Amino acid sequence: MKKRFRFLLLLALVVIVSSAQRFPTHATEAGSVGSVGIRIAQIPAAVAEEPFSDVYIISRLQPSTILTQRLEVFNTSTQEFKVNVYPGAATFVDEKFVVVDGKISNTLTSRTKLTPNVLSVKPGESKTFMMTITTPSDAVSEQEFGVIWAEVQGAPNSSGVTTVSRVGIRMYIPVGNSPAISISKTSLSSNANQIVVKKSSSTRYLVQIIYILSALNIFFFLLLLFCYRRNSSERKEKKRSDKRDETEWRKEKERRGKISKQTGI
């Protein structure tokens, strides 16, 4: 019985140690597992030789014209994501490209249509979508700004807060005879069109705790099972002993009865 208990104890300890080592103990360091991003998949011939045409949407549009351009979202992470794509407003203030928060519209975004606007992208997969900008006949000659956003939504954390991340491609669209904004090289440095997907530190810490608690539950279950079986064995042994004693007592009683009859005492 003692050997069996030592074996169960050793087994439980092995489970606990292996569970603790399965995940790192430092929950403050999140490990990157890839990225989700957006990029230009097709450059219009009219701007193919223009600087930054591979990173920005920079086509000049005349009234009564339609621009169609193919864009792409990609996923180098280890999990599938649903990516929402939509146009967002932007302005140009003090020689700086300024993004407007949320999904606020402006003239350019109201003329921009994305098809499809929701894409499910599996690990290692890329999917394209079409951007169509329709310029009306009465369009005013001016420089227009916007962003084509790719947005992903993470799973809720331990506090129930859901993180939404987005990256985008800038749109510098001169309309009619409007002079184009000069895009400097410094603008390129802010063009980070990838969302780095990381393992949640709190989630990894929680999973580690769950594994350890599960292992402890297994240990205490085995301990309880051992104690129950041991008590059960002891009860059975006591019953057998009591039965043997009772049998011996009856035999002794019968023997004495026979002697008493024979001697007449």
pLDDT category, 254, cuts 50, 70, 90?
A: confident
**Amino acid of residue 172:** Y
- Distance of alpha carbon 222 from alpha carbon 253, whole angstroms: 46
- Distance of alpha carbon 191 from alpha carbon 261, whole angstroms: 115
Mean pLDDT of the chain: 77
Instruction: Give the H or E element holding residue 136.
Output: none
Please say if the pLDDT value at position 79 is more than 90: no
- With b for 16 or more beta-carbon neighbours within 10 A and e for fewer, the 97-106 pattern comes to bebbeeeebb
pLDDT of residue 135: 96
H-helix segments, 131-200? 185-188
C-alpha distances out from residue 209 to 7, 19, 33, Å: 25, 9, 22
Residue 52 near residue 58 (C-beta atoms within 8 A): yes
pLDDT tens per residue across span 166-202: 889 999 999 999 988 888 644 443 344 555 555 444 4
Residue 107 token pair: 């003239």
Residue 171 near residue 131 (C-beta atoms within 8 A): no
- Distance of alpha carbon 218 from alpha carbon 9, whole angstroms: 10
Residue 152 near residue 81 (C-beta atoms within 8 A): yes
Highest mean pLDDT among 128-137, 206-215, 239-248: 128-137
pTM of this structure: 0.60
In the three-class reduction of DSSP (H, G, I as helix; E, B as strand; rest coil), residue 207 is classed as helix
- With b for 16 or more beta-carbon neighbours within 10 A and e for fewer, the 168-188 pattern comes to bbbbbbbbeeeeebebeeebe
- Distance of alpha carbon 180 from alpha carbon 46, whole angstroms: 15
pLDDT category, 230, cuts 50, 70, 90?
A: confident
